[in-house]
Amino acid sequence: MRIRTVAVAAGLAVTAVPAAASTVILSPVAATASSVNTAVLEIDNTIDQSGLSIGFTSGVTDFDAYFSQTPLHSFLAANNEWFSAFDVTSATVTYDLGAVFDVTRFALWNEDAAGFGTADVAYSTDDVAYTGLGTLSPAPNPVNADYPAEFFNLSFTGRFFRMELSGCPQPGGTGFQGCSIGEVAFGVRTHDDVGVIPLPGALPLMLGGFGLLGFMATRRPQVQQLEAQVIDIV
């Protein structure tokens, strides 16, 4: 007769804890425009926060917390905007976010003197193939005054954001016959990944498994002695 020992391993239940998600404000890292008025009024002015009354840290500052402060594009920063060439009634503007992001919001400070009437918007991951998102129609801002951002709900995963502007200048715009933008920013979803960890409910089972394995390890010499005695008897 042979006595056999069987090691029983306790299952360790683990679960993936859902990642905490938040929406932060993001500035594009680069921008291009099909038309520029002068070297001073270039498209980069719309992504460098140079005309904003309150700044933010791109990719860090919470989107809703920042805009709860009502940041304005200052009328005193009139040159910190983008303008197309004079008499240009349509233009293409493309923003590069620097990487692929989950975008949920778009904030636009539509310039007061010209601005634009509508924009067909689309996104891309490679700046080659674009997928349309629809048409934006921002509200005109009062001329010669600080102006706030307007928000548009978007939902896409991409790196590039293209705007086909038309209807320039916006209704009520005066002083410049063309297209213009004050500033833009995006709301992107971020995840704080905490990894895969045991749930508290699984800890008793895990500790019990370790105890059983320890018990079997201490009992093994005794089992071997018993096996030897049985063999001698047989």
- Give the model confidence (pLDDT) of 208-220 as tens digits: 554 544 544 555 5
- Give the model confidence (pLDDT) of 116-160 as tens digits: 999 999 999 999 999 999 999 999 888 888 999 999 999 999 999
CA distance 122 to 156: 9
Q: Quote the longest CA-to-CA distance of the chain.
A: 112
What is the DSSP secondary-structure string of 35-62?
--S-SSS-GGGGTS-TTBSS---TTTSB
CATH of 20-192, one of 3.40.50.11540, 3.90.226.10, 2.40.50.100, 2.60.120.260: 2.60.120.260
State mean pLDDT over 207-233.
Answer: 48
Q: Is 231 exposed, middle or buried (0-12, 13-18, 19+ CB in 10 A)?
A: exposed
CA distance 17 to 197: 7
Two tokens at 85? Answer: 């060439």
**Per-residue pLDDT at 168:** 94
Q: What separation in angstroms does the CA of 5 have from each of 122, 207, 208, 220, 225?
A: 67, 21, 18, 8, 13
- Give the model confidence (pLDDT) of 56-102 as tens digits: 999 999 999 999 999 999 877 668 999 999 999 999 999 999 999 99
pTM (two decimals): 0.74
Q: Which of the four pLDDT bands, split at 50, 70 and 90, describes residue 196? A: very low
The structural domains of the chain, with segments of one domain joined by +, span 20-192, 198-233
Look at the chain and count its residues: 234
